[in-house]
Amino acid sequence: MGRVIKTAIGLLLGLSLILGIISCDSAKLTSGFEPLPAVAPLPMPQIPEWIEQISPIGIAEPLSQIRIRFKDPLIPVERLGSPNQREILQKFEIIPPIPGQFRFLTPRMVGFQADQALPLATRVQVTLKAGLTDLNNHSLEQDLAWTFNTAPIQLTNLPATQRNPEAEPQPIALEPKLEFTSNTQLDLASVNEHLTMTPKGQTQSVKLDVALKEQEDVSSEYRQPAQEFNPSLRPWIYTITPKQPLTKATDYKLAFAPGVRPARGNIATETPFVSQVKTFDPLTYQETTFYGQPEAGGAYGRFVKGAARLEFNNGLLASSAMENITVEPAPKEAPKLVQAYDGNRFVNLNPWALEPETTYTVTLGANLTDQFGQTLGEPITFKYETGDLAGDIWAPSDLHIFPSTLKRNSESLQLNISTVNLPQPEYKAAYRIVQPTDLVYKDSAYPSGKSNDLLPKPTQWERFRVAGKKNKTTNIAVSLRKRLGGPTGMLAYGVQAKTNRYQDGNGNEKWWEPTFYGMVQLT
C-alpha cells in the first residue's frame, strides 16, 4: 500500500512539473521567442562628474546604441582590444539579457554592441557596478543604474466600417477575415486573451482566432538584411477570424484591452485600442444624385443638372449592374449606359448615352446583386429627366498637317468648331498666317506672355455670332484655304467662348471660358 502511495505522489509531482514547464513556455510556443523578463522603471540617477554622458535615456530608437562616455580614460589606449579589458567590462550590465556584448569604443567610451536592434516595447536597465574606476582613480562607490524604453506597441489600421466621417462606409461580411497592423511582433496568446468582438447592446463576445498573416516577402529566404537586424521594419500584419458567423446588419465593437504583450519585449499595452465594424445590411437602393454640373473646368456631366448617379447601401457586382439596370426609351448603343465597378456602391448613368430633354424610366432588376451575394429581391422603377445640355464649345488643338492635294475643293479642308447652348450666342477667334521666320521663336500657338506670341490676347479677338437651336450641336466650318489666301501655308488660330458661370474660392462669380489653341498646315 505504501509503495502505491509513493508511486501516485511521484506521478502527481511529475505532472505538476510538466504543467509548470508548459505554462512557462506558452508565450515562447505562440510567438517563437523567449519572453524578456520585466524591468521596473528607475528614476534618473545622479551622474558623478567624472562620467560625461550616459545614453540613451527616455524613449530610444531600435538602432540606438547604449554608450557611456567618461572624462578620463578607463584603460590605456594600447590595451584596446586586449583580453585585459574584460575585467573592466564586467562592471557593465544590461537587463534583460539582450544578445550582444559591451566593448571599448575608445579608452573613454564603452558601448554595447548588440547582435540585433533593440526590440520595441522594451524597458532596458543599464548598470555600472560599484568599483568601476578610471585611470585617475575616480571610482563608483555604489551601483549606478538607469532605464530607458523603446517605443510602445502601436496597433494601427484596425478594422473599421468608417475610418473617418468623410470616408465611405465599408460593411464587413458575415464570415470575414479582418486585419490590423502592429509596429512589432505580438504574443498571440496575449492578443487572443485581450481582444474582444462584442455585438452592440450585448455582453457576450464572439470567439476569435488571431494569427500572423503569412506573406511571401516575410520568409527568411527573401527577407531584407535590414529587416533581419531590425524586425520593427517588417510589416507585422495580423488576421482576425471569428469562429462563428456574425449577425447581419449588426454593429460590433472590436476592442484590445490593456495588457497585450509583445513577442520580444517586456512592456504590455497600457491603453485600449478600439474600433467599430458593422456587418452588411440587406441590399437597398437609396437615391439618385447628380455630378459634373457646370463649374470651373466645365460641365463633364454634360447636362445642366449634371449626370445621374445611383446610390446603393452596399457595393455591387459590376456585371450584375450592367445586366439589371435598364432605361426606357432605349439609350444609344454606344457608349455603354451603365458605368459600374466591383465593390462600388455607386453606379453612373453615362450622360453621353442619353438624350437631352428626355424623361427616362429607370428599372433596377430584382436580380441586381451586391458584393455579398444578396439580390434586390423586387424590381424598382423611377423616372429620371435629363434636362438641358450645358453650354459647351470645342475646337481641335495642337498641330495638324494635311496635304494640299487631298482635295481641290476649297471648302473640303476646314477647321471645325462645335458649340451647343452657349449662354451668349457668340464665340471669339483669332487667325494668323505663320511665316517660316516665326517658327524660329515659336512652335506653338499657345501663349507665353511674350511679344513673340503668334496670336494677340483673347480680349482682342474677333467676335463671331452663332445661330443654333436649343440642345442641338452647331458645327461651324472655317475654310483653311480662305484664311490662308492660297492652297498651302500654315495657320495659327485660337477659339474661345463663355459657357457657364461659377464661383471661385473667394465667392466671386466668374465665367468659364474654354480656350483652344492650334496650328494647321497645308503642304
pLDDT, residue 32, reads 55
Rounded Cα distance between 388 and 469, Å, is 12
- pLDDT tens for 422-476 read 999 999 999 999 999 999 889 899 999 888 999 999 999 999 999 889 999 999 9
Decide: 47 and 54 in contact? Cβ < 8 Å. yes
Per-residue CA distances from 451 to 9, 12, 180, 457, 493 (Å): 107, 102, 60, 11, 17
DSSP state, residue 264: S
Dig out the grid coordinates for 246 from the structure.
456574425
Q: What is the mean pLDDT of residues 410-419?
A: 82
State the pairing for strand pair 398-402/515-522: parallel
Cell digits of residue 393: 464649345
The mean per-residue pLDDT over the stretch 28-45 comes to 78
Residue 497: closest CA among 431, 432, 417, 400: 417
Q: How confident is the model at residue 153, as a pLDDT?
A: 97
Helix (H, G, I), strand (E, B) or coil at 46: coil
Of the candidates 405, 374, 395, which has an alpha carbon nearest to the alpha carbon of residue 496?
A: 395
Does pLDDT of 230 surpass 50? yes
User: Which pLDDT belongs to residue 275?
Assistant: 94
**DSSP, residue by residue, 383-434:** EEE--PBPPEEE---EEEEE-TTS-S-TTTSEEEEEEES-SSSEEEEEEEEE
DSSP string, 238-250: EEEEESSPPPTT-
Check: CB of residue 93 under 8 Å from CB of residue 137.
no
- Pull the grid cell for residue 401: 498637317
For residue 108, what is its C-alpha cell?
573613454
Q: How many CB atoms lie within 10 A of CB 226?
A: 12
* DSSP string across 63-105: TPPPEEEESS-SS-GGGTTSGGGHHHHTTEEEES--SEEEEEE
Select the more confidently predicted residue: 507 or 361. Answer: 361
CB-CB neighbours of 465 under 10 Å: 8
Q: How far apart are CA 90 and CA 110, in angstroms?
A: 12
The sign one gets for the Cα dihedral 132, 138, 141, 142 is negative
| Integer Cα distance of 444 and 517 in angstroms | 8
Kindly state the DSSP code that residue 258 receives in the 8-state scheme.
T
Q: What's the rounded mean pLDDT across residues 363-387?
A: 97
List, for residues 287-309, the tens digit of each pLDDT value. Answer: 999 999 999 999 999 999 999 99
CA distance 302 to 356: 9
Domains and CATH numbers, the chain: 51-150 (2.60.40.3710), 155-216+223-278 (2.60.40.1220), 285-385 (2.60.40), 392-522 (no CATH)
pLDDT mean over 217-234: 72
pLDDT digits (tens, 9 = 90+) for 179-204: 999 999 999 999 999 999 999 999 99
pLDDT digits (tens, 9 = 90+) for 43-82: 999 999 999 999 999 999 999 999 999 999 999 988 887 7
The angle formed by the CA atoms of residues 162, 168 and 174, to the nearest 5 degrees, is 60
Give residue for cell 496568446: 189
Q: Positive or negative, the Cα torsion across 136, 141, 142, 144? A: negative
- Across the beta sheet with 144-150, the strand order is 58-60, 144-150, 123-128, 92-95
Alpha-carbon span 373 to 517, nearest angstrom = 51
**pLDDT over threshold 60, residue 21:** no
Tell me, yes or no, if the pTM score tops 0.85. no
Cα first-last separation, the chain: 121
- Using DSSP's 3-state secondary structure scheme, residue 475 falls into strand
Cα separation of 79 and 76, whole Å?
Answer: 6
Q: What are phi and psi of 416, to 5 degrees?
A: -100, 125
